[in-house]
Amino acid sequence: MKTLMATDGSPEATAALRAASRFLRKQKNAVSVLCVAPEPVIKLSANGSRNGHMRIRDAYRQRIGKETQAIVSTGQAALAKEGVKSEPITQFGSPAGIIQQLTGEYDVTVVGATGRKDRSLIGIGPVAGRAVEHGRGVVLVVRKPSNESNWRALVAVDGSGASQRALNALRLYFDIGAAEVTVMHVVETPWVHLGLSPEWLNYPDDIPDQVDPEIQLEKELGREAETIVEQAEGQLEGYALGVKTVIREGSPANEILGEAELEEYDLIVLGATGASDLKHQMLGSVSAKVAAQANCSVAVVRARE
C-alpha cells in the first residue's frame, strides 16, 4: 500500500494528516508527505537580462525550497506522533496539477478539505476539488473526526463496479477493525427525478390498473436494494468492528449527506466512475457533491487505470 499525504503547512493541513492516520492502515503502508511550492512568476523586462532573471528565480527556489522542506518535516513529525513513518517529497509547480498527476501512482492520496488560502467551513478548496474530480485511486478529503476513539464510516453502494471498488478500498486501505461501518443504498425511483413524492401513487381505488406497474417497480427496486446491502454487508463481516445497513429513497447525494450529518459519521466512502456518458457523469457528480458539502471526511474511489 502506498499513501501520498499532501500538506501546505497550515494548521488545518497538519490536523488533516493526523486525522488521516486514524483512518488508514499503518502496517505495510509506505507513506510519503508532499509539499508543492509554486513556481515564481518573473516577467522579463525590456532592460533586464535573462541571466539576471535566472538568478532571481534560482534565489527564490533556494529560499522557498528550504521553507517547503520545513513544512514537510512538520508534517512528518505530526505523523510520527501517530506512529506513522514517512518519506519527504518536495516539488515546484502547480499544487493541484502535481497532486492530480501523482494520484495515479498511489493507492490513497490525502488532501485537506481546504488550504492555507481557502479556510471556509463550506465546500472544498481548488486543490481538493481537482483531485476529487480528476484524480485516480482513492482520494481522501480529510476533515476533523467527531469521535475521539472508535470511528464511524458510511459506505454508499449501488451494486455497480464503482461501489465494489469502494468496498474493496475500505477493506484494503482503511483501519476498519476500529470502525463501525454502515452500508447505505439509496433507491432512485423515477418520481424522485421528477420532483414527486411517493404519495403520488395514491390513486383512487377505481383505477387500480394504472397503479399496479408503479407499485411493482417500487417493490422490485426495494428487493434489489435489500440484495445490494446484504451482499455488501457480507463482504465487510469479519473486517469491521461492526456493520449495519440503511436503505433510503431519494436523491443519492442528498440522502448520503443527510444520513452523515444525522448520525455524525467520521468518514463517507463512495465510488465514482471516470466514464464520459451522461448516466455516469450524473453518478460521478454524486461523489463531487458529497465531497464538497459533507461535514466529515470523504473518500472518493476511482479506478487507477
pLDDT at 114 (0 to 100): 78
Task: Using the 3D structure, point to which of 144, 165, 188 is the last residue of a domain.
Answer: 144
The residue range of the domain holding 2 is 1-144
More confident residue, 25 or 49: 25
Q: For 41-92, how does the pLDDT look when each residue is reduced to its tens digit (9 = 90+)?
A: 656 555 556 666 667 677 777 788 899 999 999 999 999 999 999 999 999 9
152 and 138 together in one domain: no
pLDDT of residue 279: 43
Shared domain check, 154 and 108: no
**Best mean pLDDT range from 92-106, 201-215, 220-234, 270-284:** 92-106
Residues 152, 135 within the same domain? no
- Give the confidence band of 224 by pLDDT, cuts at 50, 70, 90: confident
Same-domain pairing of 127 and 150: no
For 37, the 3-state DSSP assignment is strand
What is the reported pLDDT for 250? 87
Distances (CA, A) of 194 to 4, 90, 200: 42, 50, 11
Kindly state whether residues 41 and 109 are assigned to the same domain. yes
pLDDT at 215 > cutoff 80: no
Residues 6 and 75 in one domain: yes
Write the burial class of residue 159 (CB in 10 Å: 0-12 exposed, 13-18 middle, 19+ buried).
middle
Our count of domains for the chain comes to: 2
What is the per-residue pLDDT for 75? 96
Closest CA to 113 of 12, 196, 185, 244: 12
Whether residue 25 is found in the same domain as residue 111: yes
Q: Once rounded to an integer, what is the mean pLDDT over residues 120-140?
A: 84
What pLDDT, on the 0 to 100 scale, is given for residue 216? 67
121 and 97 in a single domain? The answer is yes
Instruction: Give the domain-ending residue among 144, 163, 182.
Output: 144
Pair 32, 77 in one domain = yes
Strand partners, 139: 109, 300
Nine cell digits for residue 279? 448516466
Q: Decide which of 117, 144, 171 is a domain's last residue.
A: 144
pTM: 0.84
Is residue 267 within 8 A of residue 23, CB to CB? The reply is: yes
Within 8 A by CB and 6+ apart from 192, the residues are 249, 250, 251
Dump pLDDT digits (tens) for 241-296.
899 999 998 889 999 999 999 999 999 999 987 554 444 444 457 888 999 999 99
Whichever domain contains 264, its CATH number is 3.40.50.620
Same domain flag for 186 and 275:
yes
Reply yes or no on whether the pLDDT at 166 is more than 80: yes
| Mean pLDDT calculated for residue range 195-209 | 52
- Cβ atoms of 197 and 261 within 8 Å: the answer is no
d(C-alpha 232, C-alpha 245), whole Å:
9
Lowest mean pLDDT, pick from 27-31, 135-139, 144-148, 207-211: 207-211
Strand arrangement, sheet containing 242-249: 86-92, 30-37, 2-6, 108-112, 138-142, 297-301, 267-271, 151-156, 179-187, 242-249
Indicate whether 155 and 233 sit together in one domain.
yes
Q: Are residues 123 and 209 in the same domain?
A: no
